[in-house]
Amino acid sequence: MKRATLPILLLLLGILAAGSTPDAGPTLQEPTDRELFEYATRIAEAHRRADAKSVSEPGVAAQELGELLEWPWPSSADAYALRADLHARRAQLLLAAGRWEDAELAVGAGIAESEQQNISSSALTAQLWLRFGEVKEARGDDLGAVQAYQAAIRTAKDVLIQRREGRKGP
Amino acid sequence: MTDDKSTPEPEAADLEEARQARALAEAMEGSGADAPPDQELLVAAQISAVREPGQLSDAARDRIGDELFGVSGARARVRLPRWPIAAAAGLVLAGGLAAIVAVELPRLGDGRERVAFHRQAELLVAELMPRPTAAERAQAIADAAAARLREGAP
């Protein structure tokens, strides 16, 4: 029995390893419009709740948006755009709450994710760089802020060029 | 007076040296050399000339001053020339200003740059975003997905 079990286990492990996509995170393999609709609706509602709390309780609003980032998301450009917006908004709220380190982590996670998903030349990534600059500025890092703003400008110009050439980014 | 007990009185050699110093000073004044030093400075210079050999007491130097120059209390003022003090003060001031310029100007420069870049980035990002708020952007994606669902697309 033992001799027969080991090859089967190895085969199962091989199948699991081949099927895993470490860069993609907890994505659904075949996103449908229904999944995207549900995901986007949920995020839109969360943003509206955050809008209501953004002045009085920015930390609470950021926490709620952070919880959304933990959910599985459909693997599509629209879903990544939604996530990039979530990261940027969360950073803005954390900044308003005076949690500069958390804000920097949030926006850093968003930029890393956009690079990982090959959407680094998008309007939302430009927005993330803009937020990154604002976080740096709040932390007194003028040079870091200028560099981040320059990255935002560079990214935005890339997007404008892409649009002029007829390519559509998220 | 206790001071006088521990210090030697002026000796003949000291007095002679002081006289020579005085003669030198008078010669300088008489020779019309560049602006002659004022009396106080001369006294100071000559007192310091007699000071070295015997480390005279204050009282002894007073006596020399009175005897040689008729200036009482000459010991009280060995005045430094003003220009080194002015130069040192100027150096300190200039150094302070240089430090302020070196530290603060780049910061001011960064500040102006930062504001300009921030404004430019903000305008560009706003221009790229079709809808101003995150809620509206998410809703637009949801609406597009719903429209595709209604049309029967997967």
A1 part of a folded domain: no
The Cα–Cα gap between A42 and A37 comes to 8
* Cβ–Cβ contact B122 with A under 8 A: yes
A116 part of a folded domain: yes
**Predicted confidence (pLDDT) per residue in B48-67, tens digit:** 655 555 555 666 666 666 66
Whole-model pTM: value is 0.57
Asked if the Cβ–Cβ distance from B141 to A89 is below 8 Å, we say no
Of A81, A126, A137, Cβ closest to residue B114 = A137
| Total domains in the fold of chain A | 1
Asked if the Cβ–Cβ distance from B138 to A130 is below 8 Å, we say no
Instruction: Print the domain residue range for A94.
Output: 33-164
Residue from B124, B143, B148 to probe the interface with A (highest A Cβ count within 10 Å): B124
Q: Domain containing A106 — which CATH number? A: 1.25.40.10
**Predicted confidence (pLDDT) per residue in A116-148, tens digit:** 877 767 899 999 999 999 999 999 998 999 999
DSSP string, B44-70: HHHHHHHHHHH---HHHHHHHHHHHH-
**Predicted confidence (pLDDT) per residue in A143-165, tens digit:** 999 999 999 999 999 998 888 88
Do the beta carbons of residue A148 and residue A158 sit within 8 Å?
no
The proportion of chain A whose per-residue pLDDT surpasses 90, expressed as a percent, equals 52
**Predicted confidence (pLDDT) per residue in A13-60, tens digit:** 445 444 444 444 444 344 588 888 999 999 999 999 999 998 899 999
Asked if the Cβ–Cβ distance from B128 to A156 is below 8 Å, we say yes
Burial of B35 (0-12, 13-18, 19+ CB in 10 A): exposed
Encoded tokens for B51 = 């000071």
A157 part of a folded domain: yes
* B123 contacts: CB under 8 Å, gap ≥ 6: none
Of B129, B67, B14, the C-alpha closest to A126 is B129
